[in-house]
Structure 1
Amino acid sequence: MQMDLRASDAGGAAFAPLVVLELATHAKEEAVTWLLGRIRDDERNGGAELLVQQLQIGGRDDQKTNPNVFLVGSTWHRLLRGAEEVGLFKEFHDGSMRGFTFSNRERFRDFQGDGDGFLSAAECQYIIKHELDTLRARDEAHVPGYPKAKLYPGKSIIRRLQSHSILVQVFPLHDKEELKRLSFSWYRRIKLSFQPLDDIRHYFGEGLALYFGFLEYFTFALVPMALVGIPYYLFDWENYDKYVLIAVFNLVWSTVFLEVWKRCSATLAYGWGTLSRKMAFEEPRPGFHGVLGLNPVTGREEPIYPNAKRQLRIYLVSVPFVLLCLYLSLHVMMIYFSMEVWALSAYEAEPGVLSSVLLFVPSIVYAVVIEAMNLAYRYAAEFLTDWENHRLESSYQNHLVLKVLVFNFVNCFASLFYIAFVMQDMVLLRQSLATLLITSQILNQIMEAFLPYWLQRRRNKKAHRRVWRVMGDKELPFREQVQLEADMSTYLGTFDDYLEQFLLFGYVSLFSCVYPLAAVLVVLNNVTEVYSDAFKMCHVFKRPFSVPAANIGVWQLAFETMSVIAVVTNCALIGLSPQVQAYFPESDTHLILMVVSVEHVLLAFKCILAFVIPDVPKQIQIKLAHLEFESLEALKKKKILEAAVQPKSDE
């Protein structure tokens, strides 16, 4: 890790500023003094043992000054001890990935001198965030100066300050030189090559690098679908019913795609040291509240909320609300079909250019309404999930993902299922799928590419004008750079990014057999998505803290569920094809039995394929097993040594 900027602690120690801590402008002086004291205090006294410097920057209205902005850093000795505490895995001298220990630091590859450069910037900032989050209340009854901000022994101080809006934000600083190098290799050059995933991981952490790795893998995996779909679309444009072969190809592709990704994900995670890394014990969310009680696991006092009460909120409020939203979505869908009938009748009554264009209006309007409903529902789902009062962030995210996925799936795909299996109109299905996909991609590109670029240019111009008035035409100083980053939007994680890819995967895997250009459109969308997302991460959002991840989490299950639905859907579409129905002219029952049998065979094939293709490559399995064997042998030797020493001590 390299940082050209230097700061000095109150004790005079120089350090590289890594994290910004911003408290409210009106924060009480005694609270600020108490917090800084706990951050600087030794570990043996319950402190974080970090270095802090105050930095005054302009307020949000550029008129006031916030004195409660602080730069946080650390010595290398403290960072290396923190690396052991958080359980970082680094490459050992024999090439294996092992849990880092401070006592054996010199046996790890790339460790030289005092360890400068051994840890990545993302790892250093993650360690500081961890140390701040694990600051515990001791015997304080409340935050100094805030009698209503109660503190409990063992409770996280930072989370309590955040929940009472005393602490405004904590964010890691950008390294301008390193960011410039990453930007040049990532998105500033238009090139047909792989993304610099190791550099992305080094700067932003494993969670974000895995998302871009999945986005890249998904895009390349779509190329065979696109290559098959283009000639099919060009030469069979009028033959809407000849889609059996491409449906079969679709089935195989959606199955192999996810199984191979698991192996790619495991390979990346092993090289980054997160595959076998144990996750730290989860702390309660900042917004979690309840009656003070004793945690049976940690023995600490913390808010306790009855699980039965939470379940009542989920099943008596959240579930009915989701069902109501699904009903409204289906009602809007029926309005869309009424508009389709009206447009078709207008075209049949008076054929012409205007009436032919009118045929596409209902689908375009419906696509826009779908995006608006998805956005509105997202806010409602977040409110409900927060109201359910989940203790852990992982539980909160799982419930939020489930709510959002169910609604988005119904809202985006219900009309297509209705057209395909109720109306059985393949012409309308192709037209609706094309319109929904193209319209949603245009809206996404406006929201994710053009709008962030425009906002970033306006923000930078405003910042440079402010600096020019004060200093003239000079390089942006560090103080102004901190303010610029403080005013940037906060990156809320990869939730929306994975959700977008999930819906695109659904469009391709479910119905692309009747509109083969769907894969081509998704490839084009994802290529621009890589560049727009890279630009936003580097210049629009605050730098996010690293999130250690071994895989894409619950989204893997979501994609696998979609692939199972794709098997059922494509088998049903094959059964509706006149090519297949011609073999069963007299009995629909035989046709249905055939479709169901093929569907079960393909589902069994998916299960066999998942069993045959291991999630972790063989060579990585061997390395992990070898490491476990060495750990067991070392434990045996330790016990033998303790047993040999014990009799002597007894004598």
Structure 2
Amino acid sequence: VCVCVCHFFQHFVFLFIVFYCLDGSQAQPHQNLNTSAMVLKRLCIPNAMMESVPNRPLDYYTCAFRKSKMNRFLGSGDHEAYFTNTQRHCIVRVTNKTAQSKQDPFISCFRCIFFQVYEILARTVYGKRKRAEVGVDRLVNEGAYTAAYPLHEGPFQLPNYESRPDELNQRQVLYYYWARWCKWYKYQPLDHIREYFGEKIALYFAWLGFYTAWLLPAALVGTLIFVSGVMTMSTNTPAEEICGSGAKYLMCPLCKTCKAWNMSEICTMAKMGYLFDHPGTVFFSVFMSFWAVAFLEYWKRKMATLAHHWDCMDFHEEEERPRPEFAAMAPTMEQNPVTGIKEPYFPEKTRLSRMFTSSMVIILMLCVVIIFLVTVVVSRGIISVMMYHTGSPVLRTEAGTIANISSSVVNLGLILLMGQVYTALAEQLTKWEMHRTQTQYDNAFTFKVFIFQFVNFYSSPFYVAFFKGRFVGYPSKYGTLFGMRNEDCGPGGCLIELAEQLFIIMVGKQLINNIQEFILPKVKAWHQKRAFSSVLGGKVSQEPRLWEEDYKLVQCEGLFEEYLEMVLQFGFITIFVAAFPLAPLFALLNNWVEIRLDAHKFVCEYRRPVAERAQNIGVWFNILEALSHLSVIANAFLIAFTSDFLPRLLYQYKFHNDLHGYVNYTLAYAPLNYTDYPMCRYKAFRDNNGNYTLFYWELLAVRLGFIIAFEHVVFFVLRAIDWIVPDVPESLELKMKREHYLAKQALAENQEALLVSRGQRPTPGSPETSSPGQ
């Protein structure tokens, strides 16, 4: 059996443990891949996050497997234990993709492998080969089988008797040292995760842990910025002028049926607005721009280190077979130019026309999102008017806040509902497009869902940040929408309203998702157990069999939803961070919970997924890079046009450095033809005729200049960081070169060079100078 498997691995270039090393050792010492651990060790500070996890997989020097050199690979004499379970999973997946011929000489050899049932089904022809009726995936898809999955390594519950840590199975180790809630502050055992679930899932948890660790400095700085706003609130001269104005500033009515009001009524909101709109938020915007690019740069280094550590740096997905749905629905058969085997074929022109139609459907659904946004805006205006007409002084003063919060809650419900509807629609459209391989299908599906969710989640914050209050007009010439006056920013400014929206949408979404992730797997597992009991007709085995126990678990749904949730969160904490400096703190708290929930799901509630190899997080990294660049532009416009930072700065430069008289300067008088309330005031840089003043045009020039300067400086620094910080650490490059040299030496036909490098001089006729057996 092992001979045939070895031949298979030689064809697919897996890395295996090389037997000889120049230093005479077989296993390398485990490297500490956590930067914080190395820093604390150098500072001689105890590290509470460090924990010794038993049965840690050894780290060996490896090289590409060669059957002719098998005796040079460590463990080659133990045929039963030579291949790990993860490698056996990979054998199954690859054979499932390549078994297209009855003349395959290795079919009988694989039937003794650990996952033999799954493998045999993956290779068996059950119908007409010309219709690609081959493999377990197609059988499960057609309902011939209910499931096909590898088995867990026994139960996750710890034994009742006291046992040594090294006696625990892999699943129990992961549960005890990783999935339990009390391990929230410990380093994740990534090597154990990779050994049990494969590189693809291990890379997700590595990225999530790395991202969470990087949120610590962002959350700390954001909290300090918010606290500094609280501490300096009493020095805010404009807020003090508003609170002490009394009846000095009579403001124009907010609606047609409303009455004039005194500006002193909004004293509290003016002070609250300062918390989200002060000079510290500008610094935090620049800081987060640098933080985002530094995070991605150092993740690339971490990713390269992990890929090398797990021997998948040069991994590339082998030629993929057609998806079962594609094979079932493809109208014709054509020869694959790579494999030379006839496969189901779908005309490319037809696929392009379907993709164009899908694009039109996507645009239509995005228009539906915009319609819902307009509905929320109109409802917010209606709620404000209703609150104002209640007659209550408190409700009248807080009408804008109440309307904004209530509409944000309604908007969150619409966002979550539309997200579910569109995900189902995107899945059907992607199937209809008839993508040949699973990778092509996943990329198309990811693009559709992300584009929609981007507009779905960010459209309302974008409206408040960049459009609200821009088209209000002035007394006697107000802008209207559907007969209602266009919305203006509330008493505290648009940034505090944006902060309210971000808090409700971001934190509310996180709470709902965590509740779903906690409850839904348990509900699905309960339903699965009932279905299993009905199949058995109430007959239960005296000793539960492992495959039956695993069948009662929930099928693993992949990592798409997990990545999508985190990527949307990354957008919230970078694009709108100028308005909500506490966003990284809430993201940090959520991610601590998220890691535990995901760990518990994979170890305790999911069937064991088939291990998959990967060298990076795929298309999600490109999306993160796009969001980080978009955040620079968004924050530049947010500071320039939404914040009061630049108007105050220009006023300080031209008039008073202490901002004395700033409130009066920002208030214009109603035009002379406005007869409802003569001499009432409104916020704008206009003259008595409604025309813009010179200060407005000077301010516009400053705003545009700030945007250009901000973007150029930040992007220049970002490019400098990208150039200075190499994607692969220099120490790793040297290590890779040395390991390549060691592998060549270990696999050399003649060991003379190896002995010389060890400082030994072989004697003629000694065994060391003889060629090894093949």
Maintained 8 Å contact 1:368/1:440: no
**For residues 351 and 338 of structure 1, do their structure 2 counterparts lie closer, same or farther at Cα, with a shift above 3 Å needed?**
farther
**For residues 444 and 302 of structure 1, do their structure 2 counterparts lie closer, same or farther at Cα, with a shift above 3 Å needed?**
same
Q: Give yes or no for the alignment of 1:299 onto 2:340.
A: yes
Report the counterpart of residue 84 of structure 1 in structure 2.
10
What is the SS of the residue equivalent to 1:274? coil
In structure 1, how many angstroms separate the alpha carbons of the residues matched to 2:197 and 2:147?
18
Match of 1:515 among 580, 583, 591: 580
Maintained 8 Å contact 1:441/1:525: yes
In structure 1, how many angstroms separate the alpha carbons of the residues matched to 2:612 and 2:200?
5
Amino acid at match of 2:629: V
Report the counterpart of residue 438 of structure 1 in structure 2.
507
**For residues 170 and 335 of structure 1, do their structure 2 counterparts lie closer, same or farther at Cα, with a shift above 3 Å needed?**
same
Q: Return the offset for 1:216.
A: 0.5
Summarize deviations over 1:354-403 as a string: whole Å, max 9, x none.
Answer: 97766522211211211111111111111111111111221111111111
Q: Give yes or no for the alignment of 1:100 onto 2:57.
A: no
In structure 2, how many angstroms separate the alpha carbons of the residues matched to 1:179 and 1:79?
26
In structure 2, how many angstroms separate the alpha carbons of the residues matched to 1:125 and 1:138?
22
In structure 1, how many angstroms separate the alpha carbons of the residues matched to 2:438 and 2:525?
30
What is the SS of the residue equivalent to 1:98? strand
Q: Give yes or no for the alignment of 1:128 onto 2:128.
A: no
In structure 2, how many angstroms separate the alpha carbons of the residues matched to 1:543 and 1:635?
36
Q: Return the offset for 1:155.
A: 8.1
Decide which moves more: 78-87 or 281-290.
78-87
What is the SS of the residue equivalent to 1:218? helix
Maintained 8 Å contact 1:86/1:127: no
Report the counterpart of residue 49 of structure 2 in structure 1.
none
Q: Give yes or no for the alignment of 1:169 onto 2:147.
A: yes
Report the counterpart of residue 631 of structure 2 in structure 1.
566
How many residues are paired up? 554
Amino acid at match of 1:88: F
Amino acid at match of 2:147: Q
Q: Give yes or no for the alignment of 1:323 onto 2:390.
A: no
Maintained 8 Å contact 1:509/1:566: yes
* Correspondence 1:376-391 to 2 at 5 A: 376-391=421-436
Q: Return the offset for 1:629.
A: 7.5
In structure 2, how many angstroms separate the alpha carbons of the residues matched to 1:391 and 1:121?
29
Q: Return the offset for 1:151.
A: 1.1
What is the SS of the residue equivalent to 1:190? helix
Match of 1:276 among 310, 314, 336: 314
* Correspondence 1:7-406 to 2 at 5 A: 79-92=5-18, 93-94=20-21, 96-109=61-74, 111=75, 113-138=77-102, 149-152=127-130, 156-158=134-136, 161-162=139-140, 164-176=142-154, 177-188=169-180, 190-191=182-183, 192-236=185-229, 238=272, 239=274, 240-242=276-278, 243-288=281-326, 289-315=330-356, 317-349=357-389, 350=392, 352=394, 360-406=405-451
**For residues 267 and 139 of structure 1, do their structure 2 counterparts lie closer, same or farther at Cα, with a shift above 3 Å needed?**
closer
Maintained 8 Å contact 2:69/2:747: no
Report the counterpart of residue 51 of structure 2 in structure 1.
none
Maintained 8 Å contact 2:362/2:452: yes
What is the SS of the residue equivalent to 2:353? helix
Maintained 8 Å contact 1:87/1:278: no
Given the two structures, how large is their TM-score scaled by the length of structure 1?
0.78
In structure 1, how many angstroms separate the alpha carbons of the residues matched to 2:600 and 2:4?
33
Identity %: 28
**For residues 587 and 458 of structure 1, do their structure 2 counterparts lie closer, same or farther at Cα, with a shift above 3 Å needed?**
closer
Match of 2:464 among 397, 414, 419: 419
Report the counterpart of residue 264 of structure 2 in structure 1.
none
Maintained 8 Å contact 2:86/2:611: yes
Maintained 8 Å contact 1:87/1:99: yes
**For residues 160 and 112 of structure 1, do their structure 2 counterparts lie closer, same or farther at Cα, with a shift above 3 Å needed?**
closer
Match of 2:594 among 521, 529, 538: 529
Maintained 8 Å contact 2:277/2:495: yes
Q: Return the offset for 1:598.
A: 2.0
In structure 2, how many angstroms separate the alpha carbons of the residues matched to 1:343 and 1:250?
35
What is the SS of the residue equivalent to 1:514? coil
Amino acid at match of 1:430: A
Maintained 8 Å contact 1:137/1:152: no
**For residues 470 and 284 of structure 1, do their structure 2 counterparts lie closer, same or farther at Cα, with a shift above 3 Å needed?**
closer
Report the counterpart of residue 556 of structure 1 in structure 2.
621
Larger radius of gyration, structure 1 or 2? 2
Match of 1:477 among 526, 539, 544: 544
Maintained 8 Å contact 1:382/1:400: yes
What is the SS of the residue equivalent to 2:149? strand
What is the SS of the residue equivalent to 1:169? coil
In structure 2, how many angstroms separate the alpha carbons of the residues matched to 1:284 and 1:276?
24
Decide which moves more: 256-265 or 95-104.
95-104
What is the SS of the residue equivalent to 1:170? coil
Decide which moves more: 83-92 or 237-246.
83-92
Report the counterpart of residue 14 of structure 1 in structure 2.
none
In structure 2, how many angstroms separate the alpha carbons of the residues matched to 1:297 and 1:469?
51
* Correspondence 1:587-606 to 2 at 5 A: 587-606=699-718
Q: Return the offset for 1:201.
A: 0.5
In structure 2, how many angstroms separate the alpha carbons of the residues matched to 1:411 and 1:183?
37
Q: Return the offset for 1:139.
A: 9.0
Decide which moves more: 580-589 or 629-638.
629-638
Maintained 8 Å contact 1:207/1:548: yes
In structure 2, how many angstroms separate the alpha carbons of the residues matched to 1:603 and 1:636?
50
Maintained 8 Å contact 2:380/2:403: no
Q: Return the offset for 1:631.
A: 9.1
In structure 1, how many angstroms separate the alpha carbons of the residues matched to 2:152 and 2:415?
37
Q: Return the offset for 1:338.
A: 2.0
Decide which moves more: 201-210 or 243-252.
243-252
**For residues 76 and 629 of structure 1, do their structure 2 counterparts lie closer, same or farther at Cα, with a shift above 3 Å needed?**
closer
Maintained 8 Å contact 1:161/1:167: yes
Maintained 8 Å contact 2:303/2:616: yes
Amino acid at match of 1:555: W
Instruction: Structure 2: state its 5+ residue gaps.
Output: 22-59, 105-120, 155-168, 231-271, 470-493, 651-694, 751-774
What is the SS of the residue equivalent to 2:148? strand
Amino acid at match of 2:192: D
In structure 2, how many angstroms separate the alpha carbons of the residues matched to 1:412 and 1:252?
24
Given the two structures, how large is their TM-score scaled by the length of structure 2?
0.66
Q: Return the offset for 1:458.
A: 7.0
Report the counterpart of residue 657 of structure 2 in structure 1.
none
Instruction: Structure 1: state its 5+ residue gaps.
Output: 1-74, 639-651
In structure 2, how many angstroms separate the alpha carbons of the residues matched to 1:348 and 1:235?
34
Q: Give yes or no for the alignment of 1:547 onto 2:612.
A: yes
Q: Return the offset for 1:581.
A: 3.3
Q: Return the offset for 1:174.
A: 0.8
In structure 1, how many angstroms separate the alpha carbons of the residues matched to 2:98 and 2:126?
22
Maintained 8 Å contact 1:419/1:429: yes
Summarize deviations over 1:144-183 as a string: whole Å, max 9, x none.
Answer: xx99943139985445545554454321111113212211
Q: Return the offset for 1:339.
A: 2.5
Q: Give yes or no for the alignment of 1:451 onto 2:520.
A: yes
What is the SS of the residue equivalent to 1:303? strand
Amino acid at match of 2:406: V
